[in-house]
A and B are shown apart, each in its own frame.
Chain A
Amino acid sequence: MSVFEPFEAFGDVDEIADRLRDPDPSVRRLAAIELGETASPEAVPLLAAAIADPAPEVRRQAARALADFDGIEAARALASGLQDPDAETAAAAAESLAELKDPEAAPALLPLVDHADAFVRAGALRGLKALRSPAAFAPAAAALRDPAPEARVQAVGVIGYLKLSEALPSLIGAARDEAAEVREAAINALAFTRHPSAAEAVAAALDDPDWRVRAAAAESLGRIGVGDAAAALVGALRDGFWQVRQKALVSLGKLRQRSAAQAILPLLDEELPLLRKEAAAALGEIGDAGAISALERRADDPDPDVRKTARWALTRLGG
C-alpha cells in the first residue's frame, strides 16, 4: 500500500530561487508563477529580481505574480516593471499596481507621476488611487495639467478617493477639462460634498456637449442631494438622450422637490417603458397629489413594470 502526502505544498522559496537561475527562460517563468503562489514575503525580493530578467516572458510573469503582494517593496518592483520596454510586462505591472492597498507603498509611485512616458504616469496614478495617501494629493493636483487625458482621468481618481475639501477647486477645474472622460470623472468625483460650488459645477455640466458627461451630472446631483439642483434637473428632462432623462428622473425622485412634479408628468408618456417607469417612481417619491390623475392613466400601462410602479406611486400619494 502506498504512502502519500495529501496536502498541497505551498512551495519552498529557496528551492524555487534555484530555478530562477536556470538558463531556460521557460523554467524561470514557471519559477516566477510558483513564487507568487507561495504568498511568502521572502518571495518579493526574488520577484523583484525576476522583473529585471533578460527574457520578457519572465518579466511579464513576475509582474503578474507580484499582484499577490502588498507594500513598498512590491510597489518598487512593479514601478520598475511599469517602465519596461516590453508593452505586455508594463501592462501586467499596471494591473498589479492597481491591487496595492498599503499607503506605505506611495513613495515608490510618487516619483513616476512626472515620468516622460504617459503610460507610466497614468499607471502610477492609478496605483496611488486605492492607497488613499494624502501625500499623493499635491502631485495628483499637478497632474490635472498633464498633457495626456488618461493621466488626468487617473489624477481625478486619486483626488476623488481622498475626499478632501481643499480639493474642490481642482475638481471643479477638471469638470471643465477639454477631454470628455476627464470631465465625466470629475463630475462623479464631486459627488462627495454638499458644498454649493460643487453642486453648481455639476449642474453646469448638464449642458455639456457629451451625453455621458450630462448623464453623470444628472446622477451626481442626486447623490449630492442639494434641493436647489431640482431646477437644473428639470431642464435635463428635455435632454435629447434618454439616458440623461432617466438619470435626471432618478435624481429628482431622490431630491423630493414638489416643484419638479409638474415637469415630470409629460415623461409618463415617453416611448421607452423604462422612462415611463422612472417617471412614475419619481412622482411616487416626490408625493405630490397633483400627479394622481396622470398616474392613474399609467396604472393600466401595457408594460408590467410601468403598471406596477404607477400603482405603487398611487398608494404613496393616497390615490
Chain B
Amino acid sequence: MPLASSPTTVPVVVDEAKCIAEKGCTVCVDVCPLDVLRISEETGKAYMKYDECWYCMPCETDCPTGAVSVNIPYLLR
C-alpha cells in the first residue's frame, strides 16, 4: 500500500524574524512534550514538523524571544 501525503494546517507558528535557532537556541524543541518541533536545515529556524499538538504552550511560554505562537488546532476551533 503506497503512502499519500495529505495536507494539514499546523497549530504552532514561528516568527522567523524573531527566532534565534541559528544561534544555537533549541528551547522550543527541547520543551515540547510531544516532540513535534524541529529546526529546519534550510532556514535554520524552528518549525512544526509533525501535526501532533496538545496546544499546551511551553514552546510559546519558554521561547526567549517571543517567536512562537500556539493556535488551537483547526479541528477543535
Contacts and interface: CB of A to CB of B under 8 A. Distances in A.
Interface of A: 24, 26-27, 29-30, 33, 57, 61
A163 to B, nearest CB: 35
A26 B23 CA distance: 7
Mostly, the A contact residues are: helix
A33 B30 CA distance: 13
B64 interface: yes
A197 to B, nearest CB: 46
A35 to B, nearest CB: 13
B23 A61 contact: no
A33 B20 contact: no
B32 to A, nearest CB: 16
Contacts of A24: 23
Mostly, the B contact residues are: loop
B44 to A, nearest CB: 12
A29 B27 CA distance: 12
B27 A27 contact: no
Interface in B34-77: 64-65
A29 B64 contact: yes
Interface residues of B, number: 7
Contacts, number: 18
A61 B23 CA distance: 15
B7 interface: no
B24 interface: yes
A33 B27 contact: yes
Nearest to A29: B64
A26 B20 CA distance: 7
B14 interface: no
B64 A33 contact: yes
B64 A27 contact: no
Contacts of B25: 26, 30
Contacts of B23: 24, 26-27, 30
A30 B24 CA distance: 8
Interface in B1-42: 20, 23-25, 27
The 9 closest A-B pairs by CB, nearest first: A26-B23, A26-B20, A30-B25, A27-B23, A30-B24, A61-B64, A29-B64, A30-B23, A33-B64
A285 to B, nearest CB: 42
Nearest to A60: B64
Contacts of A26: 20, 23, 25
Given A24-B23, A29-B64, 10 more contacts: A26-B20, A26-B23, A27-B23, A27-B24, A29-B20, A30-B25, A30-B64, A57-B64, A57-B65, A61-B64
A27 B65 CA distance: 12
A24 B64 CA distance: 15
A59 to B, nearest CB: 12
A130 to B, nearest CB: 23
Contacts of A57: 64-65
18 contacts: A24-B23, A26-B20, A26-B23, A26-B25, A27-B23, A27-B24, A29-B20, A29-B64, A30-B20, A30-B23, A30-B24, A30-B25, A30-B64, A33-B27, A33-B64, A57-B64, A57-B65, A61-B64
Contacts of B24: 27, 30
Residue among A24, A26, A27, A57 with the most chain B CB within 10 A?
A: A26
Nearest to B22: A26
Contacts of A27: 23-24
A1 B65 CA distance: 39
A113 B54 CA distance: 44
Contacts of A29: 20, 64
B46 to A, nearest CB: 14
